[in-house]
Amino acid sequence: MPPVTRPHASFLTTRWTCVCAAKADSEDGRRALADLCDAYYEPVVAFLRCELRDADAAREMSHAFFAGMLAGGAIDTVERERGRFRSYLLGAVKHFLSHQREAAQRMKRGSGAETASLDDTEAQVVADARLPSPDTAFDRQWALTLLSRALSELQRECEVEGKGVVFEKLQPWLTGDAAHGDQLELAASLGMNLNSLKSQIHRLKSRFRALVKEQIAATLSEDGSIEEEMTVLFAALRRN
């Protein structure tokens, strides 16, 4: 089964804390690992969907990959100097896929079944020029998932402050879906003047960006650059 989504879970904000906690053989460690798997489940599915060209097979293999992660031990190989958990996990799922393919080929040979030639295999998985590469799909889904989780945390904070309605009405300005909206009408509906509305939008945008940075920081080593990862995130979002 895929990891359970917890949209309002609070996020660890110290660099590499989440990864280090996940390596601990304890209940807290298992929760931290489950949260990491939850955060990276959809990016892994996106990568495998591009590799396998089969959505069901991608989900099934993702379940197997994360089951191995959750069973313990796999994350112990993550080293602080590698810097980015995102990069580690992409390498790990590539390694996992390679082993799965090798195992499938061994089973075919052992059963006497005719195996496809290399040319036939390549012909079946030639990438459609209109589709993203598996690595690009992984990065884009990572970016979308990270933004979604940060937005959910911002919503939780607003609801705690009694500003759930304000968040709901201002969300389009945070996600770029209200480029030509009527701010005067919106301000009136919230009992604000235009300047107060603009100030509220600016405050929420700033907090949203801070939450995105907190999530990025949680899976970087001490030397990892948050701004570099932010650049990767925005580049991933620009790709089709």
pLDDT tens for each residue of 63-82: 999 888 777 666 666 665 45
pLDDT score, position 235: 92
Of 81-90, 131-140, 185-194, 204-213, the poorest mean pLDDT is in: 81-90
pTM (2 d.p.): 0.75
- Cα torsion 113, 119, 121, 127 to 10°: value is -170
**pLDDT at 205 exceeding the cut of 90:** yes
DSSP 114: P
Q: Is pLDDT larger for residue 70 or for residue 2?
A: 70
Band the pLDDT of 19: cuts 50, 70, 90.
Answer: low
**pLDDT at 185 exceeding the cut of 70:** yes
pLDDT score, position 176: 82
- What is the rounded average pLDDT for all residues in the chain? 79
Of 6-10, 97-101, 122-126, 136-140, the poorest mean pLDDT is in: 6-10
Q: Is pLDDT larger for residue 31 or for residue 3?
A: 31
Question: How many angstroms separate the Cα of 219 from the Cα of each of 2, 33, 57, 161?
Answer: 21, 12, 28, 28
The answer to whether the beta carbons of residues 13 and 218 sit under 8 Å apart is yes
Mean pLDDT confidence for 172-180: 79
Residue with tokens 């298992």: 30
**pLDDT at 213 exceeding the cut of 70:** yes
pLDDT score, position 169: 93
Of 105-109, 119-123, 213-217, 229-233, the poorest mean pLDDT is in: 119-123
- How far, rounded to the nearest angstrom, does the alpha carbon of residue 37 sit from its chain's CA centroid? 9
H or E element, residue 152: helix 134-160
H or E element, residue 94: helix 85-111
- How far, rounded to the nearest angstrom, does the alpha carbon of residue 111 sit from its chain's CA centroid? 39
Q: What angle do CA 236, 237, 238 make, to 5 degrees?
A: 90
pLDDT score, position 80: 52
**pLDDT at 1 exceeding the cut of 60:** no
pLDDT score, position 156: 97
Q: Which own/partner contact pairs does 5-13 have at CB distance under 8 Å and 24+ positions apart?
A: 5/38, 6/35, 6/38, 7/149, 7/152, 8/152, 8/153, 8/155, 8/156, 9/35, 9/153, 10/153, 11/149, 11/153, 11/211, 11/214, 11/215, 11/218, 12/218, 13/214, 13/217, 13/218
Band the pLDDT of 132: cuts 50, 70, 90.
Answer: confident
pLDDT tens across 27-57, in order?
Answer: 777 777 777 788 889 999 999 999 999 999 9
pLDDT score, position 30: 75
Q: Is pLDDT larger for residue 225 or for residue 184?
A: 184
Q: Record the tokens describing residue 147, joined without a space.
A: 């933004």
